[in-house]
Each structure stands twice: as C-alpha cells, then as structure tokens.
Amino acid sequence: MNRLFTFRGGTHPAEGKHLTAGKPIEPALTPKTVTLPLRQHIGDPCEPLVAVGDCVKLGQRIGERTDGLSAPVHASVSGTVTAITVAPHPVEGQGPAIVIENDGLYAAAEPGASGDPAAMRPPDIVRAVYAAGIVGMGGAAFPTHAKLTPPAGKPVDTVILNGAECEPYLTADHRLMLEHPDEIIFGLKAIMRAVGARSGYIGIENNKADAIRAMLAAAAGEKSITVARLRTKYPQGAEKQLITALTKLEVPSGGLPYDVGIVVNNVGTAVAVAAALKTGRPLIERVVTVTGTIVREPKNLLVKIGTPFGDLLAQCGGTTEAPAKVLAGGPMMGIAQYTLSVPVIKGTAGIVVLSAAEAAAPPESSCIRCGRCSEACPMRLQPLTLNALAVKGDYAACRAANVLDCIECGNCSYVCPAKRRLLESIRTAKAVINAGEKEGSPSG
C-alpha cells in the first residue's frame, strides 16, 4: 500500500476540497416541484410514459425508450404531472422534461427486482440495473446496463471503481466512501459478477487518506478486490488515465476499455447498483457537493433528482456576493449555467459557485511555444497544433492529428502562460467533426 499509482502528464490545480471534505452527507429539502429531463444519460432521450394531469408515485417509471442507447427516468417524488415541456438542462442548455408537483405524500411505486448478486445470473443483474435507470454517476452518465454488456469477443477481466474524485472542490464521492463503504463493495462485487471479472480495483487519490482507510476496512477479506492509492493529480480519475495508472495497459486510440479487458465505474454508481439490488429502488436521488468560496454554508447534500439548483443554494444559506458563474460540476470540466432553475440530473456531482474575481477570464496573448500544454496533456496530444488547425478551420487536419482523443480535461488551457483558449477551440473542432461523421459527410 506504499506505492502510489499515476499516469504521464496532468497538473495540480488548487483543490478547494477543504470547504466540504469534512461535511457529512445531509438530506436536501424536498422541492415543491421537480423537473425531470428525459435525457439524463449519453444516448437517445426517453419518451414520456405519462401525460399532463396524471398522478404518479415515488419511483414510478415515467420515461423510457425501447430502442437505441438510453436509460429510463423515474419520478423522484409522488404528485401530479403539471407539464411535459422544454426546460433548462445543465448539460444541453434545454431539452424535453416532465414537471411534477410534489404532493408531499411520498406514496411509492412497487419496487423493482432485487436479490443477492452472488445468487443472480449476470443477465438478471444487468436487467435490474437497467430497470433502476442507473447511469455513470461521475458525470459522463453512460447507461450502466450497456457498460455491463461487453461486446462479443471482448471478455472483461477487471473492474475498476473510480474513487479519485480529482476535480477540484467536489467531495461527494469522498463522503460516499467514508459513509457507505460497504455499499460500494457490494456494488463492485455485483458489477464484477455481471461482467464476469475476476479482479476489482478501487482507485483513491492519496489526499483522501481517511477514505482509503475506510475502503480498506470494508474490503478486508475480499481477495479479489484491491484498494489502490493514486497520486493526487488531475485528471487522475479520467477513465483511460485510471486504467493506465493501475494496470499499465493503454486503451488504443478510438478504442474503449473493453479493448483491454476492463470496465470502469464510479463509486457512486456502485452505491446506486447496491441500492437497486438490495431494495429494488431506482435511481431517484444522488449526493451533490454544493460549494464555493462565496457560498455561506457549503454542503454535501443527498438530493432528489429534478431539484432546482436555486433550492440547493438557498439551503446552503445563499452566497455572500452575487455569483458571477454557477457551474454544474467542478471548475475544470464544469458547465456554466444560465439559470438557477436548472435541475439536478443523475450526472450532477457538484454545483460550484464562483465570485467575480474567480470567474474573470485573463486576457489572451500570443503563444510563446513553451510546450507546457503538451507536457500536461494526459492523452499525449499537441494542444498548440490542434488549436492552430482549429482556428484555421482545418478540421480534416485536426482529425488526422487525433483531436477526437482529447478528453476535454482543460489542462492545456489551465497551464498556458499566454492564457490561450486551447480547450475551447479543440472542443469546437471535435463538435464539427462528430457532427460531420454523424451525417456521413467529410469533415474539414
């Protein structure tokens, strides 16, 4: 346990975790109204299963899509459907959603299938995960049932749980490891059984020594599970970097963890899997870190999906000055919001509030060709080159230079002494290329 696992590249942004690392999870106040987007996952949006005026129960499936990549959506309160409309969305800006007025009764729907994963067939575990609407809880929100269904000919030998939580300010996973370590182990064992893996890892950065101790105690006697200490470095929790750090295997360009026999999930996802298999309860709540230097009482809150950001900030006492920027997620990869009416979704790990001084963008100047962006890039790309090609609109050359391998961690922009907007241009290039390939047209 003295060894520290890590990867090439990365950087060390100010952590800001002291604001909430010592704050136990507490239940958020249940909102009067929840707004439940029909896409809370990578893939196709769900179709509504209810109509305006319908009465719904807590945990009732209200949205589903039977074709394509998707995950069902469930009511996080009981009450009446008041609208099916286009509403604010923390990732997409806006999208279709179901609005439910909370009746305060919390009448629950019949729970889904549950059982001991050791006695369940792998397909039954996968079906239970799908029925619960579980997606990746680290932010990517990939439907978990799909991740637990490896392609033919690509057996999975290892499952890795991401407990790194390398994004600054966020401590939701940290608190889960401290307060629910047994649930994490239960969920990991269920995931391992579902994919047929023989070994499991839980990777935790060494700035969370108390979480490491808690998970070691919970994993005691589990010969197939290893708790590994990771060097604190951003983006240690990125999927490909985590795989390389722990196994020395490298996912090929354009490939997936399946290609090296690995599946990666978040510790929060493991807790959601445990809840589904133990109780049949779908994913209708999650832990969210609400924080920032101008938040009066930063907290880790257990939040009903669909709760407005504004309600959570109010529960934290509001702010000491007018926020200049509110992020869904952390300061490195978070998405700025245009309204506090935006709801928490399954992938919302944190809400970070920035002051005017913190949000101010420094002036951009000419590149000095120092090479720091290349040194920091965990994907071994050349951000300067990609930026120059993107600015010129030469997207074909960007594609040839492997721009699609960029994980959008933001390290390049963070370390650039000239404050070049490297990530923004690279992100634009990726979007143009992906749109062109989706339409079947050449990019560039």
pLDDT given at position 444: 46
In a domain, 43, yes or no: yes
Query: Is 240 found in the same domain as 119?
Result: yes
Query: Is 307 found in the same domain as 259?
Result: no
The per-residue DSSP string of 69-112 comes to S---EE-SS-EEEEEEEEEEETTTEEEEEEEEEE-S--PBPPP-
In a domain, 217, yes or no: yes
3-state secondary structure of 58: strand
Which residue type occupies 88? P
Mean pLDDT of 252-265: 95
Q: End of a domain among 238, 263, 279?
A: 279
Distance CA 148, CA 154 (A): 12
In a domain, 157, yes or no: yes
Peptide bond into 235 cis (omega under 30): yes
Mean pLDDT of 97-108: 96
Query: Is 190 found in the same domain as 163?
Result: yes
Residue 436 scores a pLDDT above 90 = no
Q: End of a domain among 358, 393, 413?
A: 358
- Note the pTM of the prediction, 2 decimals: 0.94
pLDDT given at position 213: 98
Query: Is 228 found in the same domain as 317?
Result: no
Query: Is 272 found in the same domain as 141?
Result: yes
In a domain, 7, yes or no: no
Distance CA 150, CA 145 (A): 10
Query: Is 127 found in the same domain as 88?
Result: no
List the one residue out of 344, 134, 386, 139 whose CA is nearest residue 239.
139
pLDDT tens-place string over residues 67-77: 989 999 999 99
Q: Where are the beta strands (DSSP E) in 206-354?
A: 225-230, 262-266, 285-291, 299-304, 325-328, 335-336, 350-354
Cα–Cα distances (Å) from 246 to 159, 242, 390, in that order, read 11, 6, 34
Q: Do 80 and 179 touch, CB atoms closer than 8 A?
A: no
Distance CA 42, CA 37 (A): 13
Phi, psi of 97 (to 5 degrees): -155, 160
Mean pLDDT of 201-214: 98
Q: Do 97 and 35 touch, CB atoms closer than 8 A?
A: yes
- Total number of domains constituting the chain: 3
Residue 44 scores a pLDDT above 80 = yes
Give the distance from CA 153 to its chain's centroid.
Answer: 28
In a domain, 140, yes or no: yes
Query: Is 125 found in the same domain as 92?
Result: no
In a domain, 23, yes or no: no
Q: Do 36 and 73 touch, CB atoms closer than 8 A?
A: yes
pLDDT tens-place string over residues 321-373: 999 999 999 999 999 999 999 999 999 999 999 999 999 988 999 999 999 99
pLDDT given at position 440: 62
pLDDT tens-place string over residues 272-321: 999 999 999 999 999 999 999 999 999 999 999 999 999 999 999 999 99
Query: Is 207 found in the same domain as 93?
Result: no
Query: Is 398 found in the same domain as 382?
Result: yes
pLDDT given at position 63: 98
Distance CA 378, CA 336 (A): 24
pLDDT given at position 2: 67
3-state secondary structure of 199: strand
In a domain, 4, yes or no: no
State the residue range of the domain holding 79. Answer: 32-101+284-358
With bands split at pLDDT 50, 70 and 90, how would you rate the model's confidence at 140? confident
pLDDT tens-place string over residues 103-117: 999 999 988 777 788
Q: End of a domain among 235, 254, 279?
A: 279
Query: Is 294 found in the same domain as 199?
Result: no
With a pLDDT cut of 90, the percent of the chain lying above it is 93
Query: Is 92 found in the same domain as 70?
Result: yes
**DSSP H helix total and E strand total for the chain:** 14, 17
With bands split at pLDDT 50, 70 and 90, how would you rate the model's confidence at 442? very low
> Residue 198: which CATH number?
3.40.50.11540
> Residue 73: which CATH number?
3.10.20.600
In a domain, 327, yes or no: yes
Query: Is 416 found in the same domain as 325?
Result: no
Distance CA 137, CA 315 (A): 23
